[in-house]
Amino acid sequence: MTEEIKMVDIFLMGKRYTVPETLTILDAMEYAGYQLTRGCGCRAGFCGACATVFRMANDYELQVGLACQTKVEDGMYLAQIPFFPGRKASFNLEDIQPSVAHFAQLYPEVYRCLGCSSCNKVCPQDIDVMQYIAYCQRGDFAKAADISFDCVMCGLCVSRCPANIVHYNAALTARRLYSRYIAKPDPFLSERARAIKDGEMDAEIDALVTADNEKLQELYNEREIEK
């Protein structure tokens, strides 16, 4: 049941190449002969290396996508944005609090948001970017962390923002603030870490480390599995 694969024309930075229609933009660039260094990373939609802007022939509307997560279409004109010079604020997490005042010092530009929603329109992860910027403005870092979580930091939002906000870095700071200060620490983790440091877990494991393989295999086969 193997199907014949149709070919389509795409335009890489204006230049036409004919490629199989089943390919992603990334695969199509390679099919066309590009050896990529920039604009290619995990190839699975996690790393944000391959932000791409495109439009279809005879259409004025710009569209965006991750090159590894977007199929080519006939008449696609495209270019990659492999890097964007967004600013990251440096901070010492131990010296700041999840407060509006501290956040505003790090990222004052979030207050320049015009509410134009350009960021939302370009987010390849369909994140409500403008909304998490609003949460950051009012210091609701729990909500900002939650809805920004799937961000792959591709930078497309930054490329379109008229207020020069670097959304993905603001969101990352919000998530770290939330996780460090608002989410509660695991109630047992510190105790386990202390027990390990104080050597209280040594005897149990050293009995296994020194056991022979026959004994280990027996213990392994008979080990109780938590339901």
Partner 1 sequence: MTYTPQLRELMKKVEETRPSRVGVHFPRMSQEERQDVLQKFHPDYIEDGFRELKVGVNKGSRLPNEMADVFESYSPLRDVELDLTADPDYDVDVLIIGGGGAGASAALDAHAAGAKVMIATKLRFGDANTMMAQGGIQAADKENDSPAIHYLDVMGGGRLENVPELARALVMDAPLVIKWLEDMGTMFDKKEDGTMITNHGGGTSRKRMHAARDYTGAEIMRTLRDEVYNQGINVVEFAAAVEVLLDENGRAAGAVLYNLETEEYLIARAKTVIIATGGSGRLHYRGFPTSNHYGATADGLIMGYRAGAKTIYADSIQYHPTGGAYPPQLLGLLVTEKTRGLGATPLNIKGEQFVYHLETRDVESSAIIRECEERGMGVPLPTGITAVWLDSPILELTHGEGTIERQLPAMLRQFQRFGVDIRKEPMLIYPTLHYQNGGLLIDGNGHSAVENLYVAGEAAGGIHGTNRLMGNSLLDIIVFGRRAGRDAAAKSKDMPGPEKLTLEHVKAYHRELEEAGAAGSRVGPILLPHYTHR
Site for partner 1 in 186-215 (CB under 8 A): 186-190, 192-193, 196-197, 201, 204-205, 207-209, 213
Of 58 and 90, which has the nearer Cβ to partner 1? 90
Task: Give min distance, CB of 162 to partner 1, in A.
Answer: 26
Among the listed ranges 8-16, 52-60, 129-137, 217-225, the one in contact with partner 1 (CB under 8 A) is 217-225
Q: Which two tokens stand for residue 154?
A: 């591709």
CA distances to 117, 210, 223 from 202, rounded to whole Å, are 56, 12, 20
Contact with partner 1 (CB under 8 A) among 14, 33, 85, 115: 33
Task: Give min distance, CB of 42 to partner 1, in A.
Answer: 5
Q: Which residues within the stretch 142-171 sit at the binding site for partner 1 (CB under 8 A)?
A: 145, 149-150, 152-153
Of 45 and 75, which has the nearer Cβ to partner 1? 45
Task: Give min distance, CB of 114 to partner 1, in A.
Answer: 27
Helices (H), 32-182: 100-106, 118-122, 129-137, 141-148, 156-160, 167-177
Is 5:21 a contact under the CB 8 Å cutoff? yes
Is 147:127 a contact under the CB 8 Å cutoff? yes
Helices (H), the chain: 25-31, 100-106, 118-122, 129-137, 141-148, 156-160, 167-177, 189-197, 202-209, 213-221
**Separation between Cα atoms, residue 163 and residue 191, nearest integer Å:** 46
Q: Which residues within the stretch 53-112 sit at the binding site for partner 1 (CB under 8 A)?
A: 69-71, 88, 90-93
Contact with partner 1 (CB under 8 A) among 42, 101, 119, 138: 42
Among the listed ranges 51-59, 108-116, 157-165, 181-189, the one in contact with partner 1 (CB under 8 A) is 181-189
Task: Give min distance, CB of 104 to partner 1, in A.
Answer: 18
Our finding on whether 116 is near partner 1 (CB under 8 A) is no
Tell me how far apart the terminal alpha carbons of the chain are, to the nearest angstrom: 43
